[in-house]
Structure formats: structure tokens, C-alpha cells
Structure 1
């Protein structure tokens, strides 16, 4: 990916913990590094195929001037999010926000914070075997796509599968979707739980029936093992009802733990 850099943008704004900072204001300096593909713009010499850095400077200035944040961390987060939501071409952004007049009663050149934020790619498994199962799955897809920090890119066909785990219950309707998101894994997990709760999901019987089940299967190339979140999903390689719809939309995406593609994993359990 290519990069467009904005350095030393000066903005007078009213951010800070102290009341005087909010009232009197002070100078801030912003650097922005925008990761995007500029090849077509460069080959065609066409601004419409690139990112207009003058517009980005105006956006940064508006965020800084139209808000009052206690922390420069909050200002940086808001700038990064606004840029990523505004410009589809930008995949990643690094914001460095400097506060040269920081009231710390010591001689320093500047105090600054630097953050990097990006669009992440996640794969979500969907399942339901209570009530209007298709309605629950369709609703979850719409609710994910309606959230400003999520973009549903692909959705598999829904398939009917037999339940696993030994609990007597109705067959499931299962599917998978590909998602771009600004959420961290835990933020995404929390959002999925909220959608489940909106569909009256109850966690009473382990492996039991449910109105809606949403699981993070993959998230970029992240490998994490926590008590409440394991990525890649710990059971994905044993679940044909996950691998089959996932293979439909992403056959060659790989499990970062063993390097095997979804297509390969599916063929192994179907032998």
C-alpha cells in the first residue's frame, strides 16, 4: 500500500483537562499518515482516484475546532475514525497529535500522542434454530451492516444443519459473512452480543437451542487465547456447518495457526 502524509497542520482549539484550556484554547499540531492505493491516480493523473489531502486537512480542522476533548487521545481517536469513515480509499491511518503548550510547569518541546487505526477483516458465523431462523440471520446481517464501524462485504447462502453437542433440538440454519470493521476483537464481540440480545438470545443450556448465535471465526491474522475470546475460533476446524458456508465466500483464506486454507480444512473433515 502507498502512503500520503500530512505534516505539521496547525490548529488552534480548546482541548484539555483544565478549564482555562477549554476557554482560552491553544495551538495543536497534527500529523496524518494515510495508507491507500494511489497507483490508479498516479497512472491516470486523476485526483478523483486519490485522496484530496486539502479536504483531509479541513476535516481534521473541523474535528479539532468543533469539539472540546479533555484528552488529546480522544481528539486523535475522533480524527482517525472520521477519516476512515469518510474516505473509502483509506485503509489505515496514523494520527500524531502534538500539544506544544501543555501546562505541565516544566520545560518540554511538546507532548504528543500517536495512534494507528485501520479497517480489519473478520469472518462471522451465524446460526439459529428457534423461531424465524432466517429472519434472525437476515436481521443480524442488516444490523451489522447498518453500524457505522462495520461493512458487510459478503454473505454466504444459509444451509440447514443438524445440531451438535448431544442436546435434542431442531435443526439449525447456518451461514457466514465477511466483515470489515473498525472494532477491536473485544469491541466486535460486545457488539455481536448486543445483536444476539436484541434477538432474545438466552444462554441457558450449553450447546442448546438459540434464536441467534454469532461467533468470530477469524479476525485478520490475529491469534489470541483468552478465557472469553479465542481467535481463530477453537472449534472451527471441526464444524462443517461453519467451514461449508465460509468456504463459499472465502475458500482460500487461511487459518493463521496452521496455515491451512478453509477449502483444505473442509476437505479434511469431509473425507
Structure 2
């Protein structure tokens, strides 16, 4: 069994329900066990700012799925909840991102682990820090807590 961290986000429709439904669908997969859930954080949009605020959270899962199969199941959850991809950083019913999968570093066509932008995003690091501050980012060799503190101070050397 592997430990992975998923970021969940939503900014259209019934946002709280979207998060609950995503968690429910993830937990219905017999290869995934949800171990921890952060609080839900409301945040301003990132990248494309002319859209509604997001609700974001991070969950810790135990899984028998490979990193790519975990990604594909996350995409299936998005599809089941009605996500339509129209524009980068655009509004979405749900977003399921694989943030970290064990201490794996992977860069293939569909998936980069750890998530390539997570260290720049407070809406990821704040809930991640809540549930797993001591997890070490495989690339930067810093804990989530260290990355979060650096981001808050505006001191990032990567």
C-alpha cells in the first residue's frame, strides 16, 4: 500500500457537495482508503482571477493503485461529477490532483509527481500542512511545513 496526497478544488455549483461527492466516489474504490481530510479552505482563484472563489482541501489516501491509475481514477471522478475542461485554470465543478505519491518523482505524459506547482500554491500547502506537515517533498527535500512557511514569507529558492 502506498500513501498519496490528493488536492481537491471546486468553484462552481454546490461547492461543499462537490467536495463531499468527490470524497465519496474516491472512497468507493476498493483500492483507495481515505486516512485524513483537511478542513475546507475558501480561496481566491489562481491564474485566471475573474471567476468565483474556490473551496480547496487535501486528503491523505492509502492505495494499491499505481500513480497513473490513481490519476486516472481521479479524472474519472471529475467526469462522474460533470467536469468539462474548457480552459486552463478556468471554473470547475471539481478538480482532483495527485500532489505526492510516496517519495516518488515521476514525469510522464499525463502525470508529474510531485505536482509541479504545489510549492507555489497556498491553497494547496495550507491544507496539506494541516494534515501532514512532516511529509517531505521528494524533489526539494523540505517538509510541507517548511515549504508553507517559505511561501508565506515569500522566500522560495526554487
Same fold at TM > 0.5 = yes
Aligned residue in 1 for 2:143: 261
- Among 207, 227, 237, which residue is 2:109 paired with? 227
Query: Greater CA radius of gyration, 1 or 2?
Result: 1
Which piece of structure 1 moves more, 216-225 or 161-170? 161-170
| 2:7 paired residue number | 125
Q: 1:164 aligns with which of 9, 31, 46?
A: 46
Matched, 1:198 2:80: yes
Give matches, 1:73-222, under 5 Å: 119-222=1-104
Q: Distance in 1 between matches of 2:106 and 2:96?
A: 18
Instruction: For residues 115-170 of structure 1, give each alpha carbon's deviation from its aligned partner in whole angstroms, at most 9, with x where no partner exists.
Output: xxxx0100000000000111011111111112111100000000000001134100
More strand by share: 1
Distance 1:220 1:251 in 2: 14
- Across the two proteins, how many residue pairs are aligned to each other? 153
3-state SS of paired residue (1:173)? strand
- State the secondary structure of the residue aligned to 2:39: coil
* Root-mean-square deviation (Å): 0.7
Give the TM-score of the pair, scaled to structure 1: 0.56
Structure 2: distance between partners of 1:179 and 1:156: 12
Question: Paired residue for 1:104?
Answer: none
- Residue equivalent to 1:252: 134
TM-score between the two structures when normalised by the length of structure 2: 0.95
Distance in 2 between residues matched to 1:169 and 1:213, nearest whole Å: 15
Q: 1:81-126 deviations in whole A, cap 9, x for unaligned?
A: xxxxxxxxxxxxxxxxxxxxxxxxxxxxxxxxxxxxxx01000000
